[in-house]
Structure 1
Amino acid sequence: MSIIIFLVFLLCCTSSVLSTKDDEITLLKIKKQLADPYGLRWWVKGFDYCNRSANVAPDYSGITCTSTGRVESLILQNLDVTKPFPDGICSLTEMDYLEIYKIPGLYGPIPSCFTKLYNLVRLSITYTSLSGAVPDFSGRIKPSNLTFINLSRNQFSGTIPPSFGSLPKLIDLDLSFNRLTGTIPPALLSTSTSLLALANNSLTGEIPKCYGAVNFSVFVVRGNRLNGDPSFLFGKQQTAVNIELANNDFEFDLSNVEFSDNLYGFDLSHNKIYGRIPNSFATAARLWYPNLSFNRLCGELPQGGNMGRFDASVFANNACLCGYPLQPCSNSAPAPAPAPASKPPF
């Protein structure tokens, strides 16, 4: 029995050593694929990549390891390279966290082998020149552990893969500042989602109404070409603390919208919103940073409550708003701006 136990122990140790050696080879391959940048100069054969004190250039990279010496997390940043995405990263199969930050010379698509990183929990690739389609993680063989994806400030194009909705643990998704087109897929995230950011793309169409049932903390779609009525994102029971819908073509009556006490800030500027500003605006307890400028709102502003927090810029460039902090209303308060005329049926 003792011989069997010894052989099992030897097999496990050998497997760990081989896996560790494989990760060293992989890291050196990644360095070579990036043309041996200065920031990775300490990556040499035999280097102790699990020893944080040996990382002589922490401004450029960082590595942590599992208890068996496999790469658990990898950070690459501020590297002076002009190279495609290094597919060697796909071989770091025990990695649960990858961050690539401020490498503007990194270009081309993310290779398809990337979806084989089955253990990824957090993924952040930002401030690069990577292009092509956003990776489709539906090809992963086993259920994903991904909870956080940030692919903002790159040059990804095409549509948003609906397959993000098949990632059961995903609660934060940021695809802002890319070149994405098409509509926002319904059921993109679960009802427990905390953040969805799609700002500064070229998305069109309406926000799916099912998003009104999602427990967002942050919802950001400013700077697109979206339209329709997204007022279902607001309401007394909504959990969002920040909603940014600015610089779109949204068109709806604000008069009966209710603002939640959870709401800390929102930006509805540069749209086609009409009607009055409701009394709930003045009673939303935590509201500090609203923006309703550059719309078609009209009528007297609500008074009291938290109105003393806001200056005139919050309400600037509307049709005919009046009352503090804007100019006083006349004896006969202006009527609300009428709803837009319906389009002819042809």
Structure 2
Amino acid sequence: MYIRSIFFLVLLLCCTSSVLSAKDKDDENTLLKIKKQLGDPYSLRWWVKGFDYCNASANVATEYSYITCTSTGRVKSLVLHNLDVTKPFPDGICGLTEMEYTEISQIPGLYGPIPSCITKLSNLVLLGIMKTSLSGPVPDFSGHTKPTNLTSINLSGNQLSGTIPPSIFTLPNLDSLDLSSNSLTGTIPPGVLQTKNPSLGLANNSLTGELPKSYGSVDFWLIDVGGNQLSGDASFLFGKQKTAVNIVLANNEFEFDLSYVEFSDKIYGFDLSHNKIYGKVPDSFATAAGLYYPNLSFNKLCGELPKGGNMWRFSPAVFAHNSCLCGPPLPSCSNSAPAPAPASP
């Protein structure tokens, strides 16, 4: 799943400076501490005492790390990826108190919990820790010093467990949350991301229960909860005025009548496959101007497909393995049993 992560774009646009301050020495010592906690990997060999890590000409981005600084010489952003280490997460990172952007990714040897102190980095705007072997809970952001400017959290592709902390939805500017591909359990908390068109990724966990009804009032840009054990009604995610571009509910136990769902012209794709969705495919499916990548396969849908409109875009695979769908691009309805009348909304 694609979640709006702009880490590298932002990092490349961040200003750098060769100005050194007294505080800069503290950050230098913190970086050396992080390096030591990671076992002094060869890929960070240029992290040595006295190195001007704020100097743009010296601090060339490598496949392993990248640093930018504020105008006063403090570490503003830190990227670490593809390191060949087998170590716990370095809690020294919490000493970079002016840091706004960090991405720690593709380090499968990184293990242990995410230190709780990371939630006290009050200047954080973007937090990314992806594709590691980190375990334990998702950090709790209920403290008084939580980063209220945080706009993006990506903790996907780890081994995090436990439930989703409700406090994560209290971050007032959080626009993108990706907790997909972990081992999270329990129900989804009722809180919602508070920005205008947020992105939410909870795919490939072991979440149960129903989607919070409060999600019906959210205009998601993208929501992906596929590959869980969720059930009940999710039709409230759709609507003629909704602005969602992509909705993924695949591989769950959702059960609702599709007959009365209205598809927005804004929606580009959705995946409702491998659920228990019933009823007919509504006419708005054929008239949704922006729809190119739907998937309704492996459900309990029945009846004649809508005619005309944009139906020419869709292959038979979109509708495969349902109860009794018929009509182009599927075989004719002439030899099919009549569809049951849809239930009242």
Q: Same fold (TM over 0.5)?
A: yes
Q: Which residue among 326, 329, 338 is the counterpart of 1:325?
A: 329
Residue 209 of structure 1 pairs with residue 209 of structure 2: no
1:107 counterpart (91, 105, 111):
111
1:298–1:337 Cα contact (<8 Å) kept: no
Give the whole-Å Cα distance in 1 for the aligned partners of 2:336 and 2:204. Answer: 41
Task: In structure 2, give the amino acid aligned to 1:48.
Answer: D
User: 1:83-103, CA deviations, whole angstroms, 9 ceiling, x for partnerless residues?
Assistant: 000011000000000001100
Q: Which residue is 2:239 aligned to?
A: 235
Q: Secondary structure at the match of 1:123?
A: strand
Which segments of 5 or more consecutive residues in structure 2 lack a partner in the other structure?
A: 1-19
Q: 1:215 offset after TM fit, Å?
A: 1.6
Partner residue of 1:187 out of 191, 199, 203? 191
User: Are the counterparts in 1 of residues 173 and 195 from structure 2 also a CA contact under 8 Å?
Assistant: no
Q: CA deviation at 1:335?
A: 1.3
**CA–CA distance in structure 2, aligned partners of residues 271 and 322 of structure 1:** 19
SS at 2:106's partner residue? strand
1:156 equivalent in structure 2: 160
Whole-angstrom distance in 2 between the partners of 1:209 and 1:107: 36
Which sits farther off after the overlay, 164-173 or 191-200? 191-200
Structure-2 separation of matches of 1:261 and 1:160: 32
User: What do the CA deviations read for 1:65-112 (whole angstroms, capped 9, x no partner)?
Assistant: 000000000000000000000011000000000001100000000112
Residue 46 (structure 1) aligns with: 50
Which range moved further: 134-143 or 284-293?
Answer: 134-143
Partner amino acid, structure 2, of 1:99: E
Distance in 2 (CA, whole Å) between partners of 1:83 and 1:234 is 44
- Decide whether aligned partners of structure 1 residues 205 and 140 sit closer, same or farther in structure 2, where only a CA change above 3 A counts: same
Q: Is the 8 A contact 2:216 2:236 kept in 1?
A: yes
What's the TM-score once normalised by structure 1's chain length?
0.91
Report the 3-state secondary structure (helix = DSSP H, G, I; strand = E; otherwise coil) of the residue aligned with 2:23.
Answer: helix
Pair 1:126-2:130 in alignment:
yes
The alpha-carbon distance between structure 1 residues 58 and 143, as it changes in their structure 2 partners (threshold 3 A), is closer
* C-alpha deviation, 1:334, in angstroms: 2.3
The alignment's TM-score, normalised by the length of structure 2, stands at 0.91
Aligned to 1:36: 40
Q: Secondary structure at the match of 1:62?
A: strand
Alignment partner of 1:291 out of 285, 288, 295: 295
Tell me, yes or no, if the aligned pair for 2:123 and 2:147 is still in contact at 8 Å: no
Q: Distance in 1 between matches of 2:146 and 2:169?
A: 15
Distance 1:224 1:332, change over 3 A: closer
| Match of residue 92 from structure 1 | 96
**Shift of the alpha carbon at 1:52?**
3.1
Counterpart residue number, 1:165? 169
2:107 touches 2:131 (CA, 8 Å); kept in 1? yes
Instruction: Work out which of the residue numbers 258, 263, 266 in structure 2 matches 1:259.
Output: 263
Q: Distance in 1 between matches of 2:183 and 2:34?
A: 27
Alpha-carbon contact 2:172-2:195 (below 8 Å) kept: no
- Identity fraction in percent: 74
Q: Structure 1 residues 112 and 331 mapped into 2: Cα distance closer, same or farther (>3 Å)?
A: closer
Q: Point out the more displaced range, 140-149 or 162-171.
A: 140-149
Greater C-alpha Rg: 1
Q: Which residue in 1 is equivalent to 2:317? A: 313
Secondary structure of the residue aligned to 1:173 is strand
Q: Deviations over 1:272-302 (max 9, x none)?
A: 0111100000000100000000001011110
| 1:337 shift after superposition | 8.1
1:116 aligns with 2:115: no
Evaluate the alpha carbon distance shift between residue 219 and residue 209 of structure 1 in structure 2; reply closer, same or farther with a 3 A threshold.
same
Query: Over the residues paired in the alignment, what is the CA RMSD in angstroms?
Result: 1.5
Contact 2:245 2:269 in 1 (8 A): yes
Asked whether the equivalents of residues 65 and 72 of structure 1 are also in contact (C-alpha less than 8 Å), the reply is yes
2:203 counterpart residue number: 199
Rounded to whole Å, the distance in 1 between the matches of 2:60 and 2:40 is: 15
Q: Structure 2 counterpart of 1:197, which letter?
A: G
Match of 2:131, SS?
Answer: strand
| Cα distance, 1:337–1:104 mapped onto 2, change above 3 Å | farther
Pair 1:334 & 2:329 matched: no
Partner of residue 4, structure 1: none
Rounded to whole Å, the distance in 1 between the matches of 2:207 and 2:152 is: 22
Aligned residues: 324
Match of 2:272 in 1: 268
Q: Which runs of 5 or more structure 1 residues have no equivalent in the other structure?
A: 1-15, 340-346
Preserved CA contact (<8 Å) 1:274 1:338: no
